[in-house]
Each structure stands twice: as C-alpha cells, then as structure tokens.
Structure 1
Amino acid sequence: MGFRFANVAGRSSLVDDAGDYYDLERMTDGAVSSDPDVVLADLDVLTAAQGRLDDMTPFGTLDGADIRPPVTPRNVFAVGLNYADHVAESKMDVPTTPLVFTKFPSCIVGPNADVELRSEHADYEVELVVVIGRGGRDIDAADAWDHVLGLTAGQDISDRALQFAAKPPHFDLGKSRDTYGPLGPTLVSPGMFADPTDLALTCAINGEVRQNSRTSNMIFSVADQIAYLSSIMTLAPGDIIFTGTPDGVGGPNGIFLQPGDVITSEVEGIGTLTNRCI
C-alpha cells in the first residue's frame, strides 16, 4: 500500500484508480495541511488517507483540473545517455558512470503547461522522475528504494542548438529554458507498483508515437543513480532525478518541435503529460 498524490490548484490531494481527486485538508477536516510541501514530509498520513478513499466522495476529476508539479524540487538532477538505444541513435559511447547534469528548478512546470519554444531546435525526451523522500549520504544501492518518496513523469525538453553551442556542451542551459521541465501529473509511492523498476514509458507528437520503452532498459538503474549521486553529495528530501530517455528523440533525425505541436508523454501507473508547443 502507498499513495497517489497530486497538487491540484496548489492544494494537497490524493487520487484514486479512476482519476478522481480528494482534497486532503477538506477530507480530514483540517487535520492535514493543504500545502503540498508540508504534506509530503509525512508518508504515514498519506498512506493512511489513501486507504480511506473508498469511503469518501471525490472533489473532482483530474481531467481538466489545474494540476501543478507534485513537488517543489530542491535540486534537479538528470542522467543522460541512460538507454542503450538512445546512446546508439546519438552516436555516442556508452557511459561507464552516470552522465549527470542539472536542470535548473525554475524550468519546472505542471503536466499540462504550454512549452514556450525559443528556438527552431527544441526536442522532447520522456523520462521517469524519482523524488527523494529520505535523504542521506553514501546510500548503498541495495537500500536506495527506501529513500524514494515516489515516482512521477517528466519531459526533459531540450534546446539542442543551445545545448551544443559550446565545447564541451552545456547541457544545463540547453535543458533549462522556462517551461522546459513539465512534471506530473501524480506522484506515486513505490509500493503502488507491482514492480517500480519496470514501467512502460511513451512519448507521442501529435498522436504519432516516437518513443516507446520500459524503465527496466536503463543502463544505470534508479538504485544505481541514487547510490552514485549520494556518494558525491548528501541527497535531501525534495531532490528529484530525471532518469534518462529512450530512443526516438527528434534531434538525430533533424525533426524538432514546432509551434502547435502537442507532446503527449505517459509513464505506466503515473499518468499523462500533455504539453502544447507555443
């Protein structure tokens, strides 16, 4: 058992299997805060409340709701070239250690936010995103999942011209333009999945599926990434990790996002990001 969390119009909410949401403060008569950052610090409260949803009346459905990023990140880590097929299409060498860069937190937006194109070389990358719940330093890979608050979906939108404008490339700037980090729609605890290490993820542009893989195809697993990052610095609650994207991105084929394009990204058990390019 666990929880399925969403930030609806800035308020803490839980989500049932049908996609209906329940405002936590209202369903508990004020016993639980409406502030998502406060609520996410108490996993026992979330799990207990999730178990009560069958006896509650939903406040609405996520479809059409004002859904915001489920977490306000402290640090945003990202891992590049983490699927062998994406390494091959990029014509690069398979990394022997995780290739880590950062997306600046200011780029994070909600799951249905518009993506503001600022060049003719914007690309899409669907990713599983890990949210740290219990921090630590030198976390062993065998214990890494004990430090995961939940999983969500993300789009690592990338301005390839800006990314490769310098040598060596500056991934951070190319991936951190305003709106270049859609996140959501839900944050789901690991216990809600049959196997949180093997989830389907897809990305479609205007209904055409471009990316289709499973997270079990990662070169460096979620546990590997947490162990590696925590060997360098102390991870803290609210840190998030974009864990890499599979093949099918537009750059290698010279196919970039255009105004009016709709990016539809989905991670199994988490939900769908729908982002219109403007």
Structure 2
Amino acid sequence: MAFNSLCYEGAQGQVDWRGLQPEADDAFDAFLCSEVEARLHDSEGADDFEAHLRGLANTGFARDSLGAILAAEVPEERDWAIGEAMAEAHLQQAHGVVWPWNMERDKRTPKASLPGADLVGFQVEGDVVRLALGEVKTSSDKKTPPNVMSGRGGMKHQLDELAHNLRLIGQLLKWLQPRCRGTEHEDSFDAAVGLFLESGNRAVALFGVLIRDIQPDELDLTARAKTLAGSLQNPTRCHLIALYLPCTVADLPTRMSGGKP
C-alpha cells in the first residue's frame, strides 16, 4: 500500500480515525500511475467499450470514424477527481471495499455530477458483506481542520446524512441495484442489503476520506470524529481517514502522468 506510514489514530464509539502518509515517494508514484490512474480513467470499462465498438467497425472508413471518436475523448485530470480515485484505490487495498460500478460511467456530460455519495460499494470481511458509503474531500486549505470538514456541504454533515437519511439511502440502493443485477456483484448486493434491513437500517460502513497537502495533524479529524460518535449507533461503523500527500494537490495531474513538478 502507498499510504503505509501511520501518523496518528484514535477511536470513540462507532468511529475510528487515522492519518496516513507514504513512506517513500516512489511507492506513492507507482500507486498514482497504476491503481489510481486506472480507476480515474475507468480502464476496464474503456477497454470493453473500445473492443465492442471495434467489432462493429467493419470497413476502413468505419474504423477511421471510430478512431476520431476515441481520439476526441479528454481524460479526467482535475485534482478532486484524482482525489476520489485515490480514495477508492486506498479503500480497496486497506479496507476490503469492492466497487461494483465505476462512477465515471455515469458522467454522461463533462459537467455532470452524481448526487448522494462519492463512494458506493461493499465492504467484505470474510463471509460478512456490508454496504459501504462515503465522501471524499480533497483540500489545499492551510487551516486545520479545513473548511471542507464542516457546514452543510462538509464531510461531517454528509456522513451523518448517509447514516440517517433513509430517502437518500433508498435512492442510492435504487441506483446500485440494476448495476449489480446479473453480475458477479449481485450476491454481495443481496447480502449487504439483507444485513442492512435486519439491523434496523444501521449495518453500514461509512468512510470519510480527506486528502491534504500539509503536514499531518490530528486536529484535521478529531473534532468531527467525536461529534459523529455521538450520533452513530451499533452496528454502524464510521472510518475517517486523512491521506497526506508528498506533493501539492495542484501537482497531482502532473505526477500521475509520470512527470515531476
């Protein structure tokens, strides 16, 4: 794992928190240019899409037309989008979270956004599968904690909504179910939702991932974690994770392309 150096950690009630940073720049760069880049550009979905369309292009003219479409695509390289892909890759490695659908596939226009949650998947621990929901915040704010942690648009409020707003949870399940149906993830969906319902709508793993380009500071997470601990009940679990970068947030696109700022 790229973020394998523990800077701080704590726990209270149903909430735990930790700050992590890479031990070495080369491990971070390898992570960024492999797992993160693949998630950001949805390599699996893009390869399947291209292979299918190439099977439909039966003439030289059609192949040229397809080539023009593929060449016109502009890869997503905004720093916040890289932050979301980084959070997904880290949670997959460190917390056993499975992502049945890449959110990039739902961005039908360049300015489209998905309401509800940044992260939607399943946490697999042995035979137990839980619904995993979460938020990602990428910040260059020099304050501690950064502004993205507070207010109605902040991480604390959004995680609280994911824990208690049944209308929102219902929308997310309605979005997720057809994307799992008939796939290898259908059994995980059934198991996670069954567990969630049997628990009185509480068996969910919440993840809040903060990505920062400052020196690690426990104050980034502590206050919000303790506030959340006062509102969450067993078996809800909440994990707050701060990932501290070895470069600035603004340099992430260059770094991911293999360059050095």
Same fold (TM over 0.5): no
TM-score, with length taken from structure 1:
0.22
Could you say which structure has the larger radius of gyration? Answer: 2
TM-score, with length taken from structure 2:
0.23
* Higher share of residues assigned strand: 1
